């Protein structure tokens, strides 16, 4: 592990699961095909992600079967996990039959635990019923040989008196992992630490955090969960997912690297991963934040470009991104000279800069990049 001022502030470094191919399908208007799934899953594994969550099996004929099969073919069923919604025993049995048919090894049970979600999806069940339901679903799956993660859907909003007995019941029934879903953004990082501490205190527990990003807190809450003892984080590429998105994978992995000195992941695939996923999701041109975006390492002064260490704790090449100079509205002869260097275009730089500023003010359209300055210089020569 690299040297880091904060290296000791997490009890351990977390495993990573990626939910892009599953959570994206719930946000509306996004549908990855098997080809995208294959490329995304392969890049995730190259990056070092432990588990790829893909699809939802709710019974024969589910349209996610193709995605699940494509992902298995690309990275193997051991590295894939498939979601099963839990409503009652019969429905669980059908979903497990389908999971078995597809060769699924890891399942993630989605069980609503907060009063709000349980009322909506199960009809105001008692706390006791939730425990019975979880026990029943988990023992069915364990008897059939699945690796089982069970969730508390809207778990972050579930009172401790209801959540702790539920999670305890799940582990007693043989579950391998519990996923606390911050389905609706609800907790601050320090509140997250308290909730997770209650869960890691349960005998034999292994905890994963799955946060949604409506309040921009998903990365901070995921790291807070790990600080309180969670062993797994669930994230998505570009944060693609429902309800304000999920914990964005690139920001999470680069935070682990920069803040906690974590060198386990090959971050150089992240920019390509982001391009592929955003394009596949049809979200390519939307403004995004974070280190894999086209503007993440764009500078407006040549001096910044030649001294990147003054501006970057995270070098562009570490995440497979590139630096570039973007000329904005404050054009100067020095900047124009830089933009034209090596282009073979020979103009009087002072005169061209004055002409360009005047044209810009007239048109109200700023010249945004090096290429645009070069095109304008050709116009200037022709004028």
Ligand X SMILES: CC(C)C(=O)C(=O)O
**Residue numbers of the site for ligand X (CB under 6 A)?**
23, 83, 110, 153, 181, 183, 210, 212
Residue 315 has what DSSP assignment? -
Residues 6+ apart with CB under 8 A from 106: 51, 77, 78, 80, 81, 82, 146, 147, 148, 149
Q: Among 116, 136, 200, 289, which residue sits at the site for ligand ACO (rule: CB under 6 A)?
A: 136
Q: Are 83 and 53 in contact (CB under 8 A)?
A: yes
- Nearest Cα to 19, choosing from 186, 170, 151? 151
Distances in whole angstroms, Cα of residue 87 to Cα of each of 23, 126, 173: 19, 14, 17
3-state SS assignment for residue 209: strand
Whichever of 51 and 83 has its CB closer to ligand X, that residue is 83
Q: Among 34, 76, 77, 125, which residue sits at the site for ligand ACO (rule: CB under 6 A)?
A: 125
**Residue 76 in the binding site for ligand ACO (CB under 6 A):** no
Whichever of 110 and 231 has its CB closer to ligand X, that residue is 110
Q: Among 129, 191, 303, 311, which residue sits at the site for ligand ACO (rule: CB under 6 A)?
A: 129
Tell me how far apart the alpha carbons of residues 336 and 225 are, in angstroms, rounded to a whole number. Answer: 49
For the record, the structure tokens of 82 come out as 């498939």
Query: Burial of 364 by CB count in 10 Å (0-12 exposed, 13-18 middle, 19+ buried)?
Result: exposed
From ligand ACO, ligand X, none, which one binds at residue 260 (CB under 5 to 8 Å depending on kind)?
A: none
Whichever of 37 and 185 has its CB closer to ligand X, that residue is 185
- Nearest Cα to 337, choosing from 356, 361, 310? 356
Q: How far is the CB of 157 from ligand ACO (least distance, A)?
A: 19
**Residue 116 in the binding site for ligand ACO (CB under 6 A):** no
Binding residues for ligand ACO, total number by CB under 6 A:
12
The phi-psi region of residue 55 (left if phi > 0; otherwise alpha if psi is between -120 and 50; otherwise beta) is left
Residue 327 has what DSSP assignment? -
Q: How far is the CB of 87 from ligand ACO (least distance, A)?
A: 7
């599953």: which residue's tokens?
22
Q: How far is the CB of 134 from ligand ACO (least distance, A)?
A: 9
**Residue 165 in the binding site for ligand ACO (CB under 6 A):** no
Question: Which stretch in 30-38, 50-58, 127-135, 176-184 sits in contact with ligand ACO by CB under 6 A?
Answer: 127-135
From ligand ACO, ligand X, none, which one binds at residue 181 (CB under 5 to 8 Å depending on kind)?
A: ligand X
Whichever of 159 and 366 has its CB closer to ligand ACO, that residue is 159
Whichever of 124 and 285 has its CB closer to ligand ACO, that residue is 124
Whichever of 156 and 336 has its CB closer to ligand X, that residue is 156
Q: Among 2, 132, 341, 354, which residue sits at the site for ligand ACO (rule: CB under 6 A)?
A: 132
Residue 184 has what DSSP assignment? S
Residues 6+ apart with CB under 8 A from 144: 96, 100
From ligand ACO, ligand X, none, which one binds at residue 292 (CB under 5 to 8 Å depending on kind)?
A: none
DSSP assignments along 58-73, one per residue? -STT-TTHHHHHHHHH
**Residue 93 in the binding site for ligand ACO (CB under 6 A):** no
From ligand ACO, ligand X, none, which one binds at residue 110 (CB under 5 to 8 Å depending on kind)?
A: ligand X
Residues 6+ apart with CB under 8 A from 370: 324, 325, 326, 327, 339
- Which residue has the CB atom at the shortest distance from ligand ACO? 136
Q: Among 123, 342, 344, 364, which residue sits at the site for ligand ACO (rule: CB under 6 A)?
A: 123
Write out the residues near ligand ACO by the rule CB under 6 A: 88-89, 122-126, 128-129, 132-133, 136
């Amino acid at each position: 592990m690299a040297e880091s001022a904060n290296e000791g502030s997490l009890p351990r470094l977390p495993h990573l699961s990626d939910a892009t191919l599953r959570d994206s399908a719930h946000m509306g208007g996004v549908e990855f095909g098997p080809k995208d799934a294959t490329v995304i899953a392969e890049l995730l594994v190259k990056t070092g992600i432990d588990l790829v969550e893909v699809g939802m099996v709710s019974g024969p004929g589910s349209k996610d079967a193709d995605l699940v099969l494509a992902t298995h073919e690309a990275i193997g069923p051991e590295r894939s996990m498939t979601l099963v919604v839990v409503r009652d025993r019969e429905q669980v049995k059908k979903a497990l039959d389908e999971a078995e048919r597809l060769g699924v090894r890891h399942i993630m049970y989605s069980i609503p635990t907060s009063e709000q979600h349980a009322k909506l999806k199960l009809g105001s069940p008692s706390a006791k019923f939730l425990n019975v339901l979880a026990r029943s679903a988990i023992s069915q799956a364990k008897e059939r040989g699945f690796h089982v993660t069970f969730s508390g859907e809207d778990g972050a909003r579930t009172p401790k008196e209801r959540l702790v007995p539920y999670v305890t019941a799940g582990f007693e029934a043989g579950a391998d992992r519990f996923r606390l879903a911050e389905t609706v953004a609800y907790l601050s990082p320090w509140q997250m630490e308290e909730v997770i501490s209650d869960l890691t205190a349960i005998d034999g527990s292994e905890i994963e955090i799955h946060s949604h990003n409506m309040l921009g807190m998903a990365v901070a809450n995921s790291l807070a969960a790990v600080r309180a003892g969670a062993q797994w984080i669930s994230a998505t590429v570009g944060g693609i997912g429902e309800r304000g998105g999920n914990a964005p994978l690139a920001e999470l992995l680069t935070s682990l690297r920069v803040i906690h000195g974590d060198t386990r992941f090959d971050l150089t695939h992240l920019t390509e991963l982001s391009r592929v996923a955003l394009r596949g999701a049809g979200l390519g041109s939307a403004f995004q934040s974070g280190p894999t975006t086209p503007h993440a390492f764009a500078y407006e002064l040549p001096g910044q470009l030649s001294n990147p260490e003054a501006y970057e704790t995270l070098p562009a090449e570490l995440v497979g991104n590139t630096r570039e100079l973007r000329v904005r509205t404050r054009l100067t002869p020095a900047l124009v000279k830089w933009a034209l260097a090596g282009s073979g275009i020979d103009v009087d730089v002072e005169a061209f800069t004055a002409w360009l500023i005047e044209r810009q003010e007239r048109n109200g359209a700023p010249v945004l990049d090096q290429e645009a300055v070069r095109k304008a210089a050709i116009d200037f020569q022709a004028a």
